[in-house]
Structure 1
Amino acid sequence: MANTGSGPGPITPDGSPVDFYSVLKAGDEPGIVAQVTPPGGSVLELGCGVGRVTHPLVERGFQVVAVDESPEMLARVRGAETVLARVEELRLDRRFDTVMMASQLVNTVDDAVRHALLATCARHVKPGGAVLLQWMPAEAHDRWHVGMGRVDGDVTITMGAVEEVSPGIFHATMRYTYGDDKLWTQSFSSRRLTDDDLAADLAAVRLRLDRFLTEDRTWVLATTGEEAVPFTS
Structure 2
Amino acid sequence: MRNTGTGPGPITPDGSPVEFYSKLEAGDEPGIVAGVTPPGGSVLELGAGVGRVTHPLVGLGFQVVAVDESPEMLARVRGARTVVARVQELRLGERFDTVMLASQLVNTGDDAARQALLAACARHVKPGGAVLIQWMPAEAHDRWHVGLGRQDGDITITMAAVEEVSPGMFHATMRYTHGDDQVWTQSFSSRRLTDDELAAALAAEGLRLERFLTDDRTWVLAVPDAFTT
Report what 1:193 is aligned to: 193
SS at match of 1:8: coil
CA deviation after TM superposition for structure 1 residue 49, in Å: 0.2
Alpha-carbon separation, structure 2, partners of 1:111 and 1:161: 23
| Identical counterparts, % of pairs | 83
Name the CA distance, whole Å, in 2 between partners of 1:126 and 1:170: 34
| CA shift digits 1:55-101 (9 cap, x unpaired) | 00000000000000001000000000000000000000000000000
Alignment partner, residue 63 of structure 1: 63
Residue 149 of structure 2 corresponds to: 149
2:158 corresponds in structure 1 to: 158
State the TM-score, normalizing by the size of structure 2.
0.98
Equivalence for 2:14: 14
Counterpart-to-counterpart distance in 1, 2:113 and 2:174: 23
Q: How does 1:88-167 map to 2 (within 5 A)?
A: 88-167=88-167
Please tell me the residue identity of whatever aligns with 2:73.
M
* Runs of 5+ consecutive residues of structure 2 not aligned to the other structure: none
After superposing on structure 2, the runs of 4+ consecutive aligned residues of structure 1 that deviate more than 2 Å are none
CA distance in structure 1 between the aligned counterparts of 2:45 and 2:83, rounded to whole angstroms: 10
Deviation (angstroms), 1:200: 0.3
Map of 1:231 onto structure 2: none
Q: Structure 1 residue 179: deviation in Å? A: 1.0
Amino acid at match of 2:24: L
List gaps (5 residues or longer) in structure 1: 227-233
Aligned to 1:76: 76
Q: 3-state SS of the aligned residue for 1:216?
A: coil
Secondary structure, counterpart of 2:16 in structure 1: coil
Q: Could you tell me how far 1:180 is from its partner in structure 2?
A: 1.1
Q: CA RMSD in A?
A: 0.6
Structure-1-length-normalised TM-score: 0.96
What is the aligned residue count? 226
Q: Does the alignment pair 1:38 with 2:38?
A: yes
- Distance in 1 (CA, whole Å) between partners of 2:155 and 2:24 is 8
For residue 10 of structure 1, report the CA deviation from its aligned partner: 0.2
